[in-house]
Every structure is written in C-alpha cells, then in structure tokens.
Amino acid sequence: MRFANPQLLWLLLLLPVLVVGLALRYGWRRRTLARLGHLPQVRRLADSVSPSARLVKAVLLVVGTALVILSLARPQAGERSTLASAVGIDIVVALDFSKSMLAQDAYPSRIERAKAELSRLLDSLKGDRVGLVAFAGETLSYPLTTDYTAAKLFWRDMSPLDMPVGGTAMGKAIVAANRLLAGVRGKGPPRSQVILLLTDGEDHESDPIEAAKESAKQGVRIYAVGIGSRSGEPIPLLNEDGTVAGYMPKPGGGFVTTRVDAKVLRQLASITRGRYIAMEPRRFGVEPILREIATLKKSESKSRLIRHYDEVFAFFLFPGFMLLLVEACLRERRMDR
C-alpha cells in the first residue's frame, strides 16, 4: 500500500481537533440546559436525547472523515513495472570545417564525404533531436530539431573556405555543442545526450580536454570520429571554382600534411564514457555510428522502467461517504418523545 498524495495525510491531525470539538459541544449543551433552571423542563429535554445515538453519530463523523481523508491521499496497491517506449536521444553533430578537411584521401574530399555520410545518418534517425555545429577556429550552430531536411540544408553548400576564422578549435566546438544540449535539457521526457565529433583531431588553438570534462559533468557522451589517414595527406589549395590549384606550402620547403590525431580523440571519448571510432578515409561509412546510437537508445529504454499501481481510493471514499450520510440522517432524540 502506498499513497500518491501522502502530504494530504497531515489532514488526519484534524481528527483529534474534531473529537475535542464534539466533546466541548456536548459540555456546552449540558451547561445550557442547567441554566434553564426549570427542573421538570430540563428533565424532559434531557430525557428526549439518546446518549447512545449521540455517541454513534460522533463515531460515524470521525470515522467517515478519516476515510475521506485517506481517499484524498490516493491509496494505491498492486505494483507493476513496464518498459517506457523509446523517445529518442539528443545528438549534436560537430563537423570540422578546417582547411585540413579539404584533403582528398577520401573522395572527393574529407569534408564532402563527411557531409554525404552525415546526410545518410540523418535519414536513418527516428525521434531523435539533432543539432549541428560547424567549426574551424570559431563555430556556427544550428539548434536541435527533428526536422532533418532543414538540418541538412545548414551545411549543404558550406565549405572550409566559408569559415570566418581558420584553424581547428575542438574545444570551442564541444562548448557550443554543450550549450545547444543545455538549451533542451529538461524539456520533455529525459533523454540521453550525445556529441558526435567528426574531425581529424589536430587542435592547437583550444582546450578540448577541459570542454570534455564539462560535458562529463552534464552526463553528455562524446563519440569522437577520427577522419584521415595516419601517414599524412597534403592540404590542397583551391581555385574559386573548387579545382585544386596546388598544395599548402610548408615554410622551408615541402607541403603541409594532415593526419588524424587519435590520441586526443580517444581521451575526449574516455573522459565522457563515449567511444572513439576510427574512420579510414576510403572506407568511410556511418554504420559504426548508427550501431553506437542504437546501442545507446536500447540501453536507455531498458533503464526507463515505469511503475504502475491500482487506484484503491474508492474502497475508502465510498464507505466514508456512506458513514457521513448515515451520521447526517441519524436523529439524537428518541422517536417516542
């Protein structure tokens, strides 16, 4: 037995007050009769009242009131547990738009392949809220939504050349993603929250480790997807029409190369209890990401047990109402007087 509104049980403290009030009322009536002074009249009035009927009425009033109060507290019994239906999770996809993502070890380039695969990812989601962060040296954000078509338009025609500040600031991207997730946290049923970070991991401009620690405090997991070859790939320089005009030169000769920094990405994932996913440029697909999301959603669904109880307040309300009704109809005076 449990009560859905246990705070109303405090009303039971009114019962002693009710008993004291009835006792005072009985004493007041006796004193009133005594003040009449005419002994034959007093005896007739006193004899016309049944003490047992008065006692029964008092008991009915107290017990009936107690039962009504108990019914208001909503007694429940018969606990049952069921799994809650999945409501989806919150995902912020943070995609690296630094110039290193122009490398062509994935066809036609890392960034274009990433956008194509993320489009497939969005097409596979159901019920999940998705936000987007494009980042280089600074960030551009798109708030969480279930309108996946609109979300895909956010960076459909965007390229690293459109970013206002160059570089790779993963820390700023994680901070921006945390801000988007905080904006929807607590709105609707509880959801798991995830940052999907797609980058080559080369960050010399921010502190992604501190940003990941803040994510961990909020229960946000980071799934870091490393894009790029381990051997290094030259960064192309593009003409206005998008054709390759050459490669980024290195001071002193040669070309600047980019390679995935798996160590940092593994740290980010480990801090937040997420996972690092290595993507070989020539075998880049979202299937590993989808499997991780499906596992997380399945785990969340299993953990969201809902307890059900049978309402039994009627077993208290009906008898209480009937006792109060009988008390109201019962006469204190004898019928033959």
Q: Is residue 85 domain-resident?
A: no
Amino acid at 158: M
Q: Is residue 48 domain-resident?
A: yes
In this predicted structure, what is the pLDDT of residue 337?
A: 47
Same domain as 116, residue 25: no
pTM, two decimals, is 0.62
The CA dihedral of 154, 110, 95, 220, to the nearest 10 degrees, is 140
Tell which wins on pLDDT, 134 or 5: 134
The string of pLDDT tens digits covering residues 87-102 is: 688 999 999 998 888 8
Same domain as 161, residue 286: yes
Q: Is residue 335 domain-resident?
A: no
Q: Is residue 47 domain-resident?
A: yes
Q: Is residue 18 domain-resident?
A: yes
Contact assessment for residue 118 and residue 96, using Cβ atoms and an 8 Å cutoff: no
Q: What are the distances in angstroms from CA 232 to CA 50, 257, 281, 330?
A: 104, 5, 12, 97
Structure tokens at 292: 């991780």
In this predicted structure, what is the pLDDT of residue 135?
A: 94
Same domain as 141, residue 60: no
Total structural domains within the chain: 2
Range of the domain at 25: 2-79+310-329
Q: Which H or E run includes 18?
A: helix 14-34
Prior bond of 108 cis (ω within 30°)? yes
Q: Is residue 337 domain-resident?
A: no
Tell which wins on pLDDT, 266 or 105: 266
Cα Rg of the chain, angstroms? 37
Same domain as 21, residue 148: no
Contact assessment for residue 24 and residue 58, using Cβ atoms and an 8 Å cutoff: no
Same domain as 249, residue 107: yes
Q: Is pLDDT at 35 greater than 70 in this prediction?
A: no
The domain that contains 227 carries what CATH number? 3.40.50.410
Q: Is pLDDT at 287 greater than 70 in this prediction?
A: yes
**Measured distance CA(81)–CA(309) in Å, rounded:** 9
Is residue 315 classed exposed, middle or buried when 0-12, 13-18 and 19+ CB atoms within 10 A define those classes? middle
